[in-house]
Structure 1
């Protein structure tokens, strides 16, 4: 989303947004003197947030679509894009429209009232151009095109994944199976995570064939994988071993984390499982370390295996860590089976190339299951 601020030295309205490797800023308009500039900046930020939420939470991703359902409300919010720009020049909402207006529409009218309070026609004209550009960027991102201003979508977690973006991420991972900066700067993170899950499974299948370990057990062999990442990776690999596509394995985890971020717990059975695991941990601690005096109140229970504030990016990072871990296991078992210790860069380089060749072959064999 785009954030707006006031440069108080120049008394100018500034817009800035993320690009995956930093933030860019642009001057929107020079402002007249007065106390209303900050209110305008706040309203514009809220409008951008509400509109980009239509991108991250599309109606197509909702479980229900009948009248009054979540899908129905999301569709109304997205349809309200058509009234946003006209609302900027109206500081009063029609009386008969007050109760039925969407959240997007209400915020647009608040922007209109802030512009009316400024009383600066030139500023209003610049804001209309600015808001139209923001809406166009969202529509462009919905089509899977993250160039220019739509690039800000690379830091947003979405409840759906663009097939075009998944294909682009898959092409990047074919060139760079360990990951590349383009995954974080050119691809929406949900789509990148779907593709990365596909490549993690290919890496797990590759190392499983060499180590004779079941793919679900592989990550328990790697000490450097943090516990939270291990949980998410085990869940992904387990789902795909059971026949799920990468999309089917990734999307429920990201969607659940997004619900947690908004204060909702979805999947009571899974929550019960996590609570039971915490109770088992406390019980074992009492038996082995009674001096710790652990209790349910003192144990932090992760509601989601990925960070709810940035779920898609967190999962993508975990998946790439998993691919690196598979490579580390591959080289370890290659050294073990050859009866030699690692002996320098050339042999390691050959083993890395062999690993990448096998991973690419495994990924190609399952490409039809990518979505």
Structure 2
């Protein structure tokens, strides 16, 4: 989403958003010195909230809801999305009528502050910028993440466009370890789906070469500092090894994390499994270290293996990390002094790994979507 701020040194209103790698900012309007700082700060806060609410219609589209009847989640999401048409008129003509959507309520909050500031020029600048923000959301919905819509590359969506998944797949074919364009041109949910496909291909060829079972590939690496990354990769490997498609594996992980971010637990089976695992940890700790006082109250129990504030980018990072783990195992297996075969130069071995991964991915292309 776009975040608005006041540059007090230059007395300007700024709009700032992520580009996937780093942020960019523009000047929305120049402020007059007689406008109270508290009012301009309130305006910045309300514009940020409006952007957040509008982008939520992109990250949580009606199509991703489980139910679509009257007053259902899908119905409410559709009402919020349709309220986009009322935003620009509301900025110039605030209403005292009952407002049924968060989008309308937020737009009218901006309008009330603009009326307090009493500047037609400022209102014009704000209206122009909000129009640009809405256009960016509409472009992102169509799968075009150029210009201002590039901020979608930092967001986690409950759905993924097949076109975006295909674009991510092509970028990973060019650079299976990840690239700048993968983070700045593609929706991270779609990128994570494609990355899961490539990750499992890397796991498969590494397992074939090393003799390690696919589920144990990641677990065999040193991952003590990233236990949740290990959990995500193990879950994905297990599911895909059982024949599941990349999309069907990735989407529940991201959606569950988004539910947690909203303060909800979607189903209790996973939390029951986590509680069981926590009690097993306590039992083993008591057996191995009876001198340490470990109780249920001292155990940190994450509700999801992903960062709830950025689950899709977090999962994408984990999957690319997993591909690097596979490469390291592949490399060290070939360079082990206990093996009889001659050592292969690093670059030649790296190219061999990439070629084998591309071949395996191509052979499993029907498992992507």
* Matched-pair contact (CA < 8 Å) for 2:91–2:111: yes
Equivalent residue of 2:218, what SS? helix
Distance 1:20 1:342 in 2: 43
* Matched-pair contact (CA < 8 Å) for 1:279–1:296: yes
Equivalent residue of 2:28, what SS? strand
Gaps in structure 1 of 5+ consecutive residues: none
TM-score, structure 1 as length reference: 0.95
Alignment of 1:1-371 (within 5 A): 1-32=1-32, 33-35=34-36, 36-94=39-97, 98=98, 101-224=100-223, 226-336=226-336, 339=339, 347-371=345-369
* Matched-pair contact (CA < 8 Å) for 1:229–1:305: yes
Deviations 1:101-159 (A, max 9, x none): 20001100111111111111111111111100000000001111111000111111111
Distance 1:338 1:276 in 2: 41
Which has the higher mean CA deviation after the structures are superposed, 183-192 or 219-228?
219-228
Distance 1:328 1:8 in 2: 50
* Matched-pair contact (CA < 8 Å) for 1:208–1:215: yes
Distance 2:364 2:96 in 1: 54
Distance 1:334 1:253 in 2: 34
Which has the higher mean CA deviation after the structures are superposed, 136-145 or 210-219?
210-219
Equivalent residue of 2:27, what SS? strand
Distance 1:342 1:166 in 2: 40
Distance 2:285 2:92 in 1: 64
Gaps in structure 2 of 5+ consecutive residues: none
Distance 1:9 1:209 in 2: 61
**1:14 to partner: Cα distance:** 1.0
* Matched-pair contact (CA < 8 Å) for 2:192–2:316: yes
Distance 2:2 2:364 in 1: 38
Distance 1:177 1:333 in 2: 20
* Matched-pair contact (CA < 8 Å) for 2:223–2:230: no
**1:330 to partner: Cα distance:** 1.3
Distance 1:113 1:211 in 2: 66
TM-score, structure 2 as length reference: 0.95
Following superposition, which runs of at least 4 residues in structure 1 exceed 4 angstroms of deviation?
Answer: 340-343
Deviations 1:31-76 (A, max 9, x none): 2322221111111111000000111111111111111111111111
* Matched-pair contact (CA < 8 Å) for 2:150–2:184: yes
Distance 2:235 2:102 in 1: 36
